Amino acid sequence: MRRPALYSSSRSSNHDRRGGGLPDAPDTGLTPESTPPSPTSNPSRLSRLARHLSPHNVYLLWTVVGLLALLLAISFALSSPPATRKLTQADINAAVLKTLETNVLPSAAAKAYEIISPSVVRVVGMSKNSAADKGKGYGKTEAGKEDTEHSVGTGVVIVDKGIILTNLHVVQGAETIKVIFSDGLESTASITGVQPENDLAVLQAHKIPDDMIAATMRSTADLAPGDQVVAVGFPFGIGPSASAGVISGLNRNFRSPEGKQLMTNLIQFDAAANPGNSGGPLVTMDGEVIGIVTAIYNPNQQRTFVGIGFAVPIENAASAAGMPPF
């Protein structure tokens, strides 16, 4: 039987021209036209160069390539941002301590005053006196008579429609009531409710600022002696003024200097209060109203502060305005 050709005629002719023989290759059964291209039939320049180099030079070539790759990796590593270290509690404590050492922070009382002050109003009771009477004039209203200050106190807006809480004794007997808001707006006001047993009056201002801010009220259920408080008002007409202190006691009783009225369930505090503070808010360090300043105690019957003030709990005060309890 005839032996099949191991090489194509073209390879054979080449073999004849070179004059040398090549080892037999296994017969694949494929003609040159049907032989699939080898994955390495189109080698890269680097591979073709490697085939023409000696083993020593090939090793040197791959060494250079490896060094270039290493240098490229180092370059990327150096250009990348360093990994962020996770913050620890010690880092946070150190940052807070540095802030406290390098920055002057507002006091708790200052923050409480900032919150409540837009809701605090000056309350003036006016009456008509003859021109010969002493007093500060506000313009003549009748022949020979002018409006003068009958009393000066403080109030706090509890509803942004212009509803104000104050003390009854501040407005009692006044022919006209004037309120002055924190932005300087002046308005007359009417009494819409009273609670004589707690010396409270509810006013409705006839004009209010466009951006009226009402105070926030909070329950007194969790108050305790030692809690910090701020009293805001117009002592002797000066203000608004703020004084800070603590709650000295709860559920206190107080009898008016004339002995005509006994008030109960009062908050005792030591923040300075004087005539003119009456009707003003007693607030927490969060600026929330817990009481309405109503009286000061002085065993000598003088109208000056000796360290004991009293406020009606806001629950009682709010009920005077028909507001639901907390």
Residues taking part in catalysis: 169, 199, 278
Tell me the torsion sign for CA atoms 295, 298, 301, 304.
negative
Q: Closest Cα to residue 165, out of 205, 212, 126? A: 205
Instruction: Write out 157-184 in H/E/C secondary structure.
Output: EEECCCEEEEEHHHHCCCCEEEEECCCC
Q: What are phi and psi of 122, to 5 degrees?
A: -90, 130
Provide the 3-class DSSP secondary structure of residue 289: strand
Cβ atoms within 10 A of the Cβ of 76, count? Answer: 8
**Residue bearing tokens 């059964």:** 29
Per-position b or e across 111-143, b if 16+ CB within 10 A of its CB: ebbebbbbbbbbbbbbbbbeeeeeeeeeeeeee
CB 155 within 8 A of CB 120: yes
